[in-house]
Amino acid sequence: MTLRIWGRANSINVQKVLWACGELGLAFERIDAGGAFGIVDSPEYKSMNPNGIVPAIDDDGFVLWESNAITRYLAAKHGAGTLWPTDLRVRADADRWMDWQCTEYSPRMRLAFWNLVRTPKEKQDPAAIEESRAGSEAMTAILDAALAGRTFIAGDNFTMGDIAIGVAVHRWLNLPLRREARPALEAYYARIMARPAAAKVLSSPIT
């Protein structure tokens, strides 16, 4: 066993790495870390990931953090032609949506998630939830339009881009809040969740 993954399984960013491993058929060892598991503030962990967050991997001595970078690395190493598109433009398309998930989509969803899922009702901030909901809805409209007429986010085939987008869509569609109907997005979600590797990682309620 040469691939080790640090991170609690309910983290959206750890889920990307686990899902990628599932798609690629990779064996790995996962060490629970972050949240109630701690570990991330230890000097040992910080020497590996100075940010003190999850995920991080050690692949036969090569340490890497940042979930999308890890997903790209595993895809490039083991998934050329599948998760890692060999066509430059298809790969750039997948790459673009991964960056968009990380910099535009998930940040807008964060406060709704934290308030509705991780904060007791009496301490929730309704204004923050609404601002986050509205911002996420606007981003979801962009994604829904992009998915209309596409099977997967970068075209006809499932790629690494669908992993980053997929975990975010999973979170959005499972938040207990009001959402616009998004037919293309909902059909896409059903397609990706039909994949055994996705179902395995995303089957539990969001926590």
Ligand X SMILES: N[C@@H](CCC(=O)N[C@@H](CS)C(=O)NCC(=O)O)C(=O)O
Q: Of 4 and 191, which has the nearer Cβ to ligand X?
A: 4
Smaller CB separation from ligand X, 55 or 135: 55
Residue with tokens 């979801």: 140
- Partnered with residue 62 across adjacent β-strands are 59
Told to check if 40 binds ligand X by CB under 6 A, we report yes
Strands 56-59 and 29-31: unpaired
Q: Does 34 bind ligand X (CB under 6 A)?
A: yes
11 versus 115: smaller Cβ distance to ligand X: 11
> Does 112 sit near ligand X (CB under 6 A)?
no
Between CA 22 and CA 55 the distance in angstroms is 16
**Residue range at the interface with ligand X (CB under 6 A); choices 8-16, 84-92, 148-156, 193-201:** 8-16
Segment interacting with ligand X, rule: CB under 6 A, options 19-27, 66-74, 83-91, 196-204? 66-74
Which listed range, 33-41, 80-88, 126-134, 140-148, lies at the site for ligand X (CB under 6 A)? 33-41
- Residue of 5, 11, 91, 95 that binds ligand X (CB under 6 A): 11
15 touches ligand X (CB under 6 A): no
* 35 counts as binding ligand X under rule CB under 6 A: yes
Select from 3, 5, 12, 163 the one that contacts ligand X (CB under 6 A).
12
Q: At what angle do helices 126-147 and 160-174 cross, to 10 degrees?
A: 140
Given the rule CB under 6 A, which of 10-18, 154-162, 165-173, 178-186 is the region that contacts ligand X? 10-18
13 lies in the binding site for ligand X (CB under 6 A): yes
Give the number of residues in contact with ligand X, rule: CB under 6 A.
12
Q: Which residue has the tokens 């809805």?
A: 137
Site for ligand X in 165-184 (CB under 6 A): none
Query: Which spans of this chain sit near ligand X (rule: CB under 6 A)?
Result: 11-13, 34-35, 40, 53-55, 66-68
